[in-house]
């Protein structure tokens, strides 16, 4: 066994984000934990259908084959016990996914173990687990069901919102308290002052390092910023990414226009946004991760 995961990009994912466990979850909600346990044991040889984050996981693991070395690690982290989690592992083996590590925490939040695994990103359908992970400093999102899957492709495309996701929510707070004019004046005056990093900065940085291992004209990873910002608030974003030495392949400054059509055209495999309203619209065209972080989510705490 290895002593650590080194400089790999590490994704931790819950079993319900990876596989469709809606039926067994209904058993849990209606009849309780013991009925759920028995249901999973009785069905553990039945292969689970892929869940909303399955295509993302499949493409991330596919990068290892393209690079000829293990540079991405996916770890199953689950509120299940090992007993009830056996069905998920059987399904992993059925699909040939390169996932060999898991944490089954028996009904508790897996958040304390993310640091031990050195995770860059945590995806789950359990909103409270995601909140705890964000509070502990990990890029985390609640995967929403309903997003259609992209056509089969070896290219991995990930889109990010800006404020409260890649960047801190400081500027968003100014917008929500002072309005658009105050926000634009602040961003214009602060154009040469880099934004503070948000919860997804470390994940984007790790993804960017992985991109650099491929030839520039043959990289299978493509990233995009899809933000409601527009001129003059664009300059600070551009200068911030330059200061961070992070490359985004495409950037869209929409000035309040709907994001869904851009995301559909970009062909994102997943989109991360902090605002629930944006996520609800995006989920119709792309698998979407809600990032419950920052001022837009404080009323929900």
pLDDT of residue 55: 92
d(CA 47, CA 188): 54
Q: What are the extents of the domains in the chain? A: 9-144, 156-294
d(CA 128, CA 131): 5
Residues 6+ apart with CB under 8 A from 209: 7, 9
Pick the CATH number of 156-294 from 3.40.50.1000, 3.30.950.10, 3.40.50.11540, 1.10.510.10: 3.40.50.1000
Pick the CATH number of 9-144 from 3.40.50.1000, 2.60.40.1530, 3.20.20.140, 3.40.190.10: 3.40.50.1000
pLDDT of residue 32: 87
pLDDT of residue 147: 66
pTM (2 d.p.): 0.93
pLDDT of residue 216: 85
pLDDT of residue 145: 82
pLDDT of residue 151: 59
N- to C-terminal Cα separation, the chain: 40
pLDDT of residue 1: 32
Residue 132 phi/psi, 5-degree rounding, is: -65, -40
- List, in sequence order, the alpha helices (H) in 32-113: 33-42, 54-67, 82-95
Rounded to 5, what percent of the chain is helix, strand, coil? 45, 20, 40
156-294 and 9-144 share a CATH fold = yes
pLDDT of residue 7: 87
Of 161, 163, 273, 274, catalytic? 161
Which of the residues in the chain have pLDDT under 50?
A: 1-3, 301
Q: What is the DSSP string of 139-206?
A: EEEEEETTPPPPPS-S-EEEEE-TBTTTB-SHHHHHHHHHHHHHHHHHHHHTTTSPPPB-TTHHHHHH
pLDDT of residue 4: 56
Q: Examine the residue annotation and report whether 273 is marked as an active-site residue of this protein.
A: no
Residues 6+ apart with CB under 8 A from 216: none
Q: Answer for the pair 8, 73: CB distance below 8 angstroms, yes or no.
A: yes
């Amino acid at each position: 066994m290895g002593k650590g995961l080194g400089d790999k990009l590490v994704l931790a994912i819950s079993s319900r984000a990876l596989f469709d466990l809606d039926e067994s979850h209904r058993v849990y909600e209606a009849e309780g934990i013991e009925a759920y346990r028995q249901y999973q044991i009785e069905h553990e040889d039945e292969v689970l259908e892929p869940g909303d984050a399955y295509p993302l996981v499949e493409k991330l693991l596919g990068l290892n084959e393209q690079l000829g070395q293990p540079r991405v690690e996916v770890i199953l982290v689950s509120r299940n016990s090992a007993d009830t989690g056996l069905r998920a592992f059987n399904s992993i083996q059925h699909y040939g996914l390169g996932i060999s590590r898991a944490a089954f925490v028996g009904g508790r939040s897996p958040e304390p173990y993310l640091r031990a695994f050195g995770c860059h990103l945590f995806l789950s359908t359990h909103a409270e687990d995601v909140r705890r992970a964000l509070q502990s400093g990990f890029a985390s999102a609640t995967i929403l069901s309903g997003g259609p899957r992209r056509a089969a492709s070896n290219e991995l495309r990930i889109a990010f919102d800006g404020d409260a996701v890649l960047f801190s929510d400081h500027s968003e707070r100014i917008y929500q308290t002072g309005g658009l004019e105050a926000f634009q004046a602040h961003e214009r005056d602060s154009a040469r002052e880099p934004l503070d990093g948000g919860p997804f900065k470390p994940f984007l940085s790790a993804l960017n390092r992985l991109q650099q291992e491929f030839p520039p004209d043959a990289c299978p990873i493509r990233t995009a910023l899809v933000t409601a910002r527009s001129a003059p608030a664009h300059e600070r974003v551009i200068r911030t990414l330059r200061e961070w030495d992070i490359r985004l392949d495409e950037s869209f400054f929409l000035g309040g226009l709907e994001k869904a059509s851009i995301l559909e055209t970009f062909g994102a495999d997943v989109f991360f946004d902090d605002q629930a309203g944006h996520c609800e619209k995006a989920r119709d065209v792309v698998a979407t991760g809600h990032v419950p972080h920052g001022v837009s989510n404080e009323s929900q705490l």
